[in-house]
Amino acid sequence: MLAVQGVLSGRMRRKSNGGTCAVEPRSGELFADGFWDRPLDEVDALRAQSKVHRSTLTSGVRVWVITGYADAKRALTDPSLRKDARTIHAIIDRQQTQPDPMAQVAGILDTHMLFLDGLDHSRVRRIVGMEFTRARVEALRPRIEARTTSILDALPVDGPVDLVSAVACPLMLAVICDLLGIPANDRELFNEWTQAVMVQDGARTVRATQALNSYLSTLIDHKRFTPDDDLLSVLIHPRATSDRLSTEELLGTVFLLLTGFQTSANLITTAVFQLLSHPGSWNRLREAPWFLPTAVEEILRFDSPMRTTTHRYTTEPVEYGGQPIPAGELVVVWLHAVNRDPDVVRCPDAATLNLERSPNSHLSFGHGAHYCFGAPLSRVAAAVVLRRMTRRYPEARLVDVVARHAPNAIMNGLLALPLVLGPDVARPREADL
Ligand code: HEM
């Protein structure tokens, strides 16, 4: 989530690290030494200590972190926890010791439903929801399949391939461009800006956000008069309601939808990593593709593409996990911790990857009013890639068994995932997939 980063990690002091945003850890707290080498073990240990934690990031921003499943579900539907962007920024600003360069584009990045409450939120969500439907996602499926096939066709089978830069990111950027109706000639620039916006890297991100904002304003003007069938056109001219999004709301919505590129790319990458690091899983999916949807849910649960939800703030004193939290404090849910909470009903082996787990009540797409809009799209894209890759490359293997996590407080992505694919056995029969 782009604006989420803007608020959660982006509004904190940053240092550039391999093109990703790094929130500097304060020793002994959430991101203590060694955290990024074994983030899942670390959150399991954190939750075992307590279901609610007070954490201070090195920027000085203090948040309450919920690590228990039952508390998380309650928090994500609690009317005392709200999301209004201005209040969240005001709370963070009170804690900041340095001016934040991203503040000048916060208004662009945060004017959308994820930072609205109550009726304002439900109005925007309703308009977007009437057009961003499951049917629209299903209509995109053949293009997702065709794009995946052509990306895989171009990969070398003998040398190492970086799944992040060669498959997951280009595929998901293309899918989001298809969804929004970004003209083919503009895609290279669009991709460049989008990647720069995502890294949350001070001046570079500010410039890219402004350039993208100006490009999208022009595109919206163009589509007002020459609409097509893409999501942006139908959001400009909703068919199912007379209510309209303002230009600012449209722009904010597009910026929010763009963030789906990164989370979905993360899902593809962590899925391949987890399958190849759990012996037998890759071939199991190859031989029994009908349980792919169940396997995708389990990977979402086990290694969620987002580490935490976005910020909420308390409007009155509340209590979580026996811990009183005063009014005016920031709260986040640590999704990795709550998904692996063994106290969840019927999830006693929560720290184990079980590709056939059902039911699977993970919170990786959130819960309650702000439940993720992009869940169906991400599930389709992940299933398409996994089906094709397991089918085509039975001997695929990791070059390095240790995952190199991007040190980002909210996004759970890998900096790179080098693979040797081995022989491509299915290319001639691709049409059968
Ligand atoms: C695997 C991929 C994805 C994951 C794990 C994910 C996760 C999430 C989560 C956890 C939230 C709730 C945040 C909170 O309550 O603080 C959320 C909200 C949202 N997501 Fe996603 N997301 C993914 C992909 C996408 C995609 C592809 C799109 C769109 C193209 C998208 C659009 C949205 C929107 C619009 C919201 C805000 C809903 C609201 O505020 O009512 N997401 N997502």
pLDDT in tens, 180-217: 999 989 988 988 888 888 777 778 889 999 999 999 99
pLDDT at 22 over 70: no
List, chain by chain if needed, residues with CB within 6 Å of any ligand 1 atom. Answer: 1, 113-114, 125, 256-257, 260, 263-264, 267, 305-306, 309-310, 364-366, 370, 372-374, 377-378
Average pLDDT over residues 50-58: 79
Neighbours of 48 (CB within 10 A): 12
CATH code of residue 181: 1.10.630.10
Q: Output the DSSP codes for 224-282.
A: HHS--SSHHHHHHS-SS-S----HHHHHHHHHHHHHHHHHHHHHHHHHHHHHHHSTTHH
Provide, rounded to the nearest whole percent, the portion of the chain with pLDDT above 90: 65
Closest C-alpha among 213, 211, 195, 341 to residue 259: 195
| The pLDDT value given to residue 19 | 29
Helices 375-392 and 292-302 sit at what angle, rounded to 10 degrees?
Answer: 110
| The pLDDT value given to residue 2 | 38
What domain count does the chain have? 1
Convert the pLDDT of each residue in 228-283 to its tens digit: 999 999 999 988 778 899 999 999 999 999 889 999 999 999 999 999 999 999 99
Report the relative pairing of strands 81-82 and 20-23 from DSSP bridges. Answer: unpaired
Distance between CA atoms of residues 355 and 281, nearest Å: 8
Ligand 1 centroid – CA 262 distance (Å): 11
| The pLDDT value given to residue 124 | 96
| The pLDDT value given to residue 268 | 98
Ligand 1 pocket test, pick from 133, 372, 373 with the greatest ligand atom count within 8 Å of Cβ, gives 372
Residue 305 or residue 432, greater confidence? 305
Closest C-alpha among 404, 408, 412 to residue 337: 412
Rg (alpha carbons) of the chain, rounded to whole number? 21
User: Domain range for residue 265?
Assistant: 2-432
| The pLDDT value given to residue 21 | 27
Residue 369 CA to its chain's centroid (Å): 17
Distance between CA atoms of residues 239 and 231, nearest Å: 11
* Closest atom of ligand 1 to CA, residue 377: 27
Ligand 1 centroid – CA 373 distance (Å): 6
* Closest atom of ligand 1 to CA, residue 179: 30
Under the banding of pLDDT at 50, 70 and 90, the label for residue 430 is low
Ligand 1 centroid – CA 366 distance (Å): 7
Convert the pLDDT of each residue in 349-401 to its tens digit: 999 999 999 999 999 999 999 999 999 999 999 999 999 999 999 999 999 88
Closest C-alpha among 117, 59, 164, 141 to residue 312: 117
Ligand 1 centroid – CA 426 distance (Å): 34
Residue 335 or residue 31, greater confidence? 335
| The pLDDT value given to residue 429 | 55
Helices 118-131 and 247-277 sit at what angle, rounded to 10 degrees?
Answer: 70
Ligand 1 centroid – CA 227 distance (Å): 26
Nearest CA to ligand 1 atom 18: 372
* Closest atom of ligand 1 to CA, residue 335: 10
